[in-house]
Amino acid sequence: MKRTIPIALGMAIAAQCLILIGLYVEAQVPLWLGEPIRVKTVPVDPRSLFRGNYARLSYDFSTIAQSAFQEDQPLRQGEVVYVSLKKHPSGLYVFSSASLERPQRGIFLRGRVVGNRWGNTGDYRIKYGIEAYFAPREKALQLEDALRDGGVAELMVMSSGRAGLRKLAGDD
């Protein structure tokens, strides 16, 4: 066996460690550096076979009308979009505008088009990576019950539009 193989395998193990640390840091960064905002949310369908129990969250800005983008061509599935939010008098952030260009200022989320409801003529479904709230099964079901008519999610939003889900009102 070559002498380099043990070193290479040791580096492969280290690489796995680095990937795990990288994923941890990437998940933490919005929580460390992001700006806190509160948005209205509704939990739906709490279960995932492999990833455990969670409440799947939906936001008002999870579905956006095609006309909001002011594009000549319909968007493609997977397209990166930026959704600006504005502060409502209630203190919650709500949808303001959407575009393919990154906004210069204000609070905005970076998302991707994952579906369209009515072929190429209707609304787009957008995901921002803040749609899963993991909790034990009973708690996930309780959350679903408690927030059936809508709850509040606390997000941490970075200047790049990346967001992390910090807390769900009712999960104290």
Among 104, 120, 149, 172, binds other proteins (CB under 8 A): 120
Taking the C-alpha atoms of residue 97 and residue 67, their distance in angstroms, rounded to an integer, is 10
Among 36, 52, 106, 150, binds other proteins (CB under 8 A): 52
Among 86, 102, 127, 148, binds other proteins (CB under 8 A): 127
Taking the C-alpha atoms of residue 48 and residue 57, their distance in angstroms, rounded to an integer, is 13
Among 33, 94, 114, 141, binds other proteins (CB under 8 A): 114
What is the DSSP-derived secondary structure letter of residue 170? T
**Residue 43 and residue 55 in contact, taking contact as beta carbons nearer than 8 Å:** yes
State yes or no: residue 170 binds other proteins (CB under 8 A).
Answer: no
Q: For the chain, give percent helix, strand, coil, nearest 5.
A: 25, 40, 35
Q: Using CB under 8 A, list all residues that contact other proteins.
A: 1, 5-6, 8-13, 15-17, 19-20, 23-24, 27-28, 31, 48-54, 56, 73-78, 112-114, 116, 120, 127-137, 139, 164-165
